[in-house]
Amino acid sequence: MSRMTRVLAGGLAAAAVAGVCTAVAGGGSPAAADRASEPVVIGHRGASGLRPEHTLAAYRMAISQGADYIEPDIVATKDRRLVARHDNWLADSTDVEQHPEFADRRKTKTVDGVTRTDWFTEDFTLAELRTLRTEERIPATRPDNVVFNGLEPIPTLEEVLELARQHGVGVYPETKHPTYFDELGLSMEEPLVATLRRYGFDGPGDGVYIQSFETANLRDLARMTKVPLVQLINGSGAPYDFVESGDERTYADLVKPEGLKWIASYAAGIGPATNLLIPVDSTGRLGRPTTLVRDAHRRGLTVHTWTIRNENEFLPADHRQGNATAPGYRSATGDVGGWVTRLYRLGVDGVFCDDPSACVGARTAAYG
């Protein structure tokens, strides 16, 4: 199956899923033919294991490695432009500290209940942000990426979409801190939908998903667009819009049957953390798989799990490799192929990967 076929099949599967949500709520499930026959591979923040995340270089690398989708996390600027950053703070992924002209922009703010002193995208115009240069966010874990520091500006959403169109891959934007930005009067949903539409990413079958860890903005988006939506689900805690509104439900509640039924009323899929599919114990070893993939499919929801990373530090203990006492062990590459193959066998519909080539290679071995 070609990459474009997988992208289109994934989008059409999401459309089919959305169309059967009501029937599924009554106990049915979509036919196997409505799903892509192979899981899609999503370049997580690009190929962020090999290039600084959310740079055009990272997205290009992911495309060259065979990713079916590239994933830009989206935040807003002071002048309401959307840019690709994992968060709205800047110090850990740019050289903002080296710009004395912005020294007075350093502020202490509370974002999603966490207080942080930093520089924030909403205090910069796009033109000002473009004077910054990107850097590796976790240099101790990914020292090889540091050589690419200082080479690229922060990309706009438009640049990411142009790149995707140029190479025939899908896009998978995530709205970051949507409640926070709404409270600033910088709602991201409307410009996101308008920009996607302008580039032809307008609905099922167009090679696009929109995802979020919050629920309220996805429910708003369900009324604004036909693009399939994915509810991200963390392994702990609760969606921040629940915390803000006093809703006592947690992510753990959302993976229960009633929670999945509720998600299916506005979304086409879920994006669960891998430990919700296969729990790990206190030593990092894998336990018995849960029934979440099966339960989600019964509700008509696709399942795209996150995040597959090469480094031992991020792998279950069962798939770490090397001498645990050796320097560099935590950042060394482990048995990432074996880990993602284990997830494929659970029947997931997609995987978010920091090194898409590892997930593409494992998929080729598993599916031919």
Active site residues per annotation: 44, 86
* Nearest alpha-carbon partner for 349 in 172, 165, 200: 172
With 0-12 / 13-18 / 19 or more C-beta atoms within 10 angstroms meaning exposed / middle / buried, residue 191 is middle
Whether 269 contacts 228, CB under 8 Å: yes
211-230 per-residue burial string, b: 16 or more CB within 10 A, e: under 16 = bbbbbbbbbbbbeebebbbb
- Provide the angle, in degrees to the nearest 10, between the axes of the packed helices 356-367 and 336-345: 50
Question: Torsion over CA of 26, 254, 269 and 201, rounded to 10 degrees?
Answer: 120
In one letter, which amino acid is 245?
S
Q: Say which DSSP state 235 is in.
A: S
At 359, give phi and psi (nearest 5°): -75, -35
At 131, give phi and psi (nearest 5°): -80, -15
111-131 per-residue burial string, b: 16 or more CB within 10 A, e: under 16 = bbeeeeebbbbbbbebebbbe
Whether 76 contacts 179, CB under 8 Å: no
Taking the mean position of all CA atoms in its chain, how far away is CA 70?
9
Taking the C-alpha atoms of residue 11 and residue 36, their distance in angstroms, rounded to an integer, is: 9
**Count of alpha carbons within 13 angstroms of residue 51, beta-carbon side:** 22
Residue 322, sorted as left (phi over 0), alpha (psi -120 to 50) or beta, turns out to be left
In one letter, which amino acid is 131?
T
